[in-house]
Amino acid sequence: MTATAILDFRSDTVTLPDPVMCAAMGRAELGDDVLDGDPTMRRLEERAATVLGTEAALWVPSGSMGNLIALFLQVRRGERLLAPAQAHVLDQEVGTAFWLAGATPGPLPWRTGAPGRPAPDAVRTAAASTGPYFALRTTGLCLENTHNAAGGTVTTVDEHDALIRTATDAGLWVHLDGARIWNAAVRLGVAPARLTRGVTTVQACLSKGLGAPVGSVLGGSVALIAEARRARKMLGGGIRQGGMLAAAGLVALDRIARLRTDHETARVLASGLCELGWDVDVPETNVVMCRVENPDEVVRRLGARGLLTVPVVGRVRWMTHSGVDRAAVGEALGRLAQVPT
């Protein structure tokens, strides 16, 4: 590795399909998934439903589309949608949850010491329909595991169950934005399906740490997924010979356990940054968040040394993935040690 090699810590979405994945895409059995079905798509959707523990699943081109479809099918115009503060559906999806799905945003504060996770009490209070007839109605909750903006933080099984119980008691449907549910499952040592228990719908990304070039899956009941297929068509998300992309997704689903390596790499990076005097959160998964005075300026200076990161909610975010291994982290820390930031 030369001193000028670019090391890309911006996101696990920068991962490229490797030769094994490309070969699987190249030999995928194909049909017309919009006309009457594509056999590889079918296999992926069946496998995704099994892994997610849902009755059925639908492949979608992106996590944002998966979330939008889930909300579009469940929110009625104007109803309040609860979600942890800084949730991706609230802040990072062009507001489509509001102006397309029609929800009114209801951000929930994080519990003290539990970044990204709201308290069941906050859900109960927000959902209580004690107001007059013109009061806003709350009908849904969108959870996020891992929570991206909080730093890839994990909602544990007990926390998940408590939130589901409260939401269900309050008559809410629950969508889980599980873009990185795989990371949460690996971190907790449980099956992904354990983390979807009680939800109405779940969205999970194949294109992040699992390395597929395109795609997410949306899980739910047979009836909901049939409606979701219509909504996907409405949004222009039906892909004819989609089997090529589904084949990448099938390979991606074989790679869930590998995420453990990304989590280890993140811990090595975090402790190295800490030794160099950075103010770093202990990573729970593959995200390393650093508190700095001026994130934009620090990101620019890191970039000048070939270290790509992003400014996120007032911090500098590093993300580990298959493209930045232990050696890359060592190299990055070496560059920082030579020239203090």
List contacts with ligand PLP (CB under 6 A).
62-64, 67, 88, 144, 148, 177, 179, 205, 207, 216
Min dist. Cβ of residue 216 to ligand PLP (A): 6
Min dist. Cβ of residue 5 to ligand PLP (A): 26
CA dist., res. 242 & res. 61, Å (int) = 10
Closest to 140 (Cα-Cα) out of 89, 93, 83: 83
Min dist. Cβ of residue 38 to ligand PLP (A): 20
CA dist., res. 226 & res. 229, Å (int) = 5
Q: Which is closer to ligand PLP, CB of 170 or CB of 322?
A: 322
**Residue with structure tokens 């992926």?**
44
Min dist. Cβ of residue 280 to ligand PLP (A): 20
Q: Which is closer to ligand PLP, CB of 54 or CB of 148?
A: 148
CA dist., res. 152 & res. 150, Å (int) = 6
CA dist., res. 48 & res. 255, Å (int) = 13
Q: Which is closer to ligand PLP, CB of 7 or CB of 70?
A: 70
Min dist. Cβ of residue 242 to ligand PLP (A): 15
| One-letter identity of residue 153 | T
Q: Which is closer to ligand PLP, CB of 63 or CB of 283?
A: 63
Q: Which long-range contacts (CB under 8 A, 24 or more apart) does 303-307 make?
A: 305/335, 305/336, 305/339, 306/3, 306/4, 306/5, 306/6, 306/7, 306/335, 307/7, 307/9, 307/332, 307/335, 307/336
Q: Which residues pair with 142 in a beta bridge?
A: 175
Q: Which is closer to ligand PLP, CB of 175 or CB of 255?
A: 175
Cα 102 to Cα 81, 98, 109: the distances in Å are: 10, 4, 22
Min dist. Cβ of residue 131 to ligand PLP (A): 31
Q: Which is closer to ligand PLP, CB of 170 or CB of 231?
A: 231
Cβ-proximal residue to ligand PLP, closest one? 63
